[in-house]
Amino acid sequence: MSYSDIAVSVSQLNSYIKEKFENDEALQNVLVKGEISNFKNHYTGHLYFTLKDENSLIKCIMFKTYAQRLDFIPKDGMKVFIAGTISVFERDGVYQIYVKAMQEDGIGILYKKYEELKKRLEQDGYFDEAHKKAIPKIPKTIGVLTSQTGSVIRDIINVSTRRNPKVQIRLFPVPVQGEGAAEKIANGIKIMNENKLADVLILARGGGSLEDLWPFNEEIVAHSIYNSEIPIISAVGHETDFSISDFVADLRAPTPSAAAELAVPDVYELSQKINTYQNRLRTNLIKKVEIMRLRYEKCTSSRIFKEPLRNINDNYLKIDSYIKKLENIINIRQKQEKTKYIELISKLDTLSPLKTLTRGYSLIESNNKIVKSAKDIKTGDKISIRFVDGEKEAEIL
């Protein structure tokens, strides 16, 4: 007997495995919890995603018929409970959950509340850059609101005092998780402001789950940060964690240690900068003095500075010469224009009809028009005859 007689095809194997899944009642109605990842909302209305926990994952599909019944929109990172059937997709040889129902678990509800509050506060202007206050350049007192035990306060003290040994750290201990923590954090911010206990505040805690960080996502804390007259640096959780307090605060730091670095300038670095600036200023002043000295020497060697009145007198003589030349030009031009004027008057006088009348001639006018031909008048017309010394009326007979 050969292998070909006893071997099964891939399709037959997958079909066999699928039948085993379907005959197992425990797999026909499962309830599983996990976190959504690789979520895809297909144009057909079907939902494809992966459900995972810390150690494993499983593929899921929710057909349009069931997806339409959801009262929320699934997203990556959302923790959910799903109910459905496990079966094998024969073509790919992959087993997956065919989801019939889905519900957010506690984390999902918190995440939804977080998104809703974030959206509302953003619309109300709580995150606007125009409202954010500048962090003081060299604060004398750093106020810290965090737990009085743990590594957070130690890290802030170590970093701050290393950068500036004279800086004062004022701790206002508050609970950073659990019931009532948000109210105590908000009250701490209020007290620090009312008593002006610091130049800048650091609101800090270490990393944790969404539930652990939840006090920093409460609206009461957001209001306190927004209304604070003292600038606030928020350093809540790890670098990848973003809380509502991070968005409202005047500055966000990825870690508590980073917050200390942002709040406290390095005095040794500042000292080096000051020395550098002093050296630059000294060098520039030396150059400036040398340039001014060279300019002074150049000026003292100039005749203008040696004999200033002589230069003025020379200019006066030049001006007098220019005035005389201008007067001569004007006089010559006047004489030329006067001669032209007399010539024009003579020409006009020669061409004047009145000049002709002095020689015994006369002008005949009819209807206020000069008569140039005997044809222009007829018997009975009234005419006017102008002589050199007057005018007479006449009638043509």
Q: What is the CATH number of the domain that holds 234?
A: 3.40.50.10550
User: In terms of domains, do 179 and 80 share one?
Assistant: no
Given 243, 265, 287, the domain boundary residue is: 265
Give how many domains the chain has, as a whole number.
3
Residue 197 lies in a domain: yes
How many angstroms separate the CA atoms of 382 and 397, rounded? 10
Residue 30 lies in a domain: yes
User: In terms of domains, do 145 and 250 share one?
Assistant: yes
Please determine, for residue 348, whether its predicted confidence score (pLDDT) is greater than 90: no
User: In terms of domains, do 152 and 261 share one?
Assistant: yes
Residue 273 lies in a domain: no
Helix (H, G, I), strand (E, B) or coil at 98: strand
Helix (H, G, I), strand (E, B) or coil at 102: strand
Closest CA to 246 of 67, 142, 254: 254
Residue 8 lies in a domain: yes
Share of the chain above pLDDT 70, in %: 92
User: In terms of domains, do 158 and 71 share one?
Assistant: no
User: In terms of domains, do 100 and 144 share one?
Assistant: no
The half-sphere exposure of 134 on its side-chain side, counting CA atoms within 13 A, is 3
How many angstroms separate the CA atoms of 137 and 139, rounded? 6
Given 104, 121, 154, the domain boundary residue is: 104
- Paired residues of 57 in beta bridges: 52
Closest CA to 59 of 32, 78, 29: 32
Report pLDDT for 105.
Answer: 76
User: In terms of domains, do 87 and 145 share one?
Assistant: no
Mean pLDDT (whole number) for 82-86 = 93
For position 85, which CATH number holds? 2.40.50.140
Residue 132 lies in a domain: no
Contacts with 160 (C-beta within 8 Å, 6 or more apart), sequence order: 142, 167, 169, 260, 263, 264
- For residue 42, give its domain range: 3-104
- 294 by Cβ neighbours in 10 Å (0-12 / 13-18 / 19+) ranks as exposed
How many angstroms separate the CA atoms of 227 and 250, rounded? 11
Given 265, 285, 312, the domain boundary residue is: 265
* Residue 176 contacts residue 145 (beta carbons within 8 Å): no
User: In terms of domains, do 69 and 20 share one?
Assistant: yes
Residue 364 binned pLDDT confidence (cut-offs 50, 70, 90): confident
Residue 319 lies in a domain: no
Please determine, for residue 238, whether its predicted confidence score (pLDDT) is greater than 80: no
- Paired residues of 83 in beta bridges: 31, 101
How many angstroms separate the CA atoms of 208 and 327, rounded? 100
Helix (H, G, I), strand (E, B) or coil at 124: coil
User: In terms of domains, do 99 and 202 share one?
Assistant: no
Report pLDDT for 385.
Answer: 81
Residue 184 lies in a domain: yes
User: In terms of domains, do 246 and 143 share one?
Assistant: yes
Mean pLDDT (whole number) for 102-111 = 75
Longest dimension (CA), the chain: 165
Please determine, for residue 349, whether its predicted confidence score (pLDDT) is greater than 90: no
Residue 373 binned pLDDT confidence (cut-offs 50, 70, 90): confident
User: In terms of domains, do 94 and 164 share one?
Assistant: no
Contacts with 170 (C-beta within 8 Å, 6 or more apart), sequence order: 141, 142, 143, 144, 197, 198
Helix (H, G, I), strand (E, B) or coil at 324: helix
Residue 69 lies in a domain: yes
pTM recorded for the entire structure: 0.50
User: In terms of domains, do 83 and 197 share one?
Assistant: no
Q: What is the pLDDT of residues 3-61, one digit of tens each?
A: 676 788 888 888 888 888 888 888 888 999 999 999 999 999 999 999 998 889 999 99
- Write the single-letter amino acid at 312: I
Helix (H, G, I), strand (E, B) or coil at 8: coil
User: In terms of domains, do 180 and 258 share one?
Assistant: yes
* Residue 235 contacts residue 132 (beta carbons within 8 Å): no
CA distances from 371 to 279, 353, 367, 394 (A): 106, 14, 9, 13
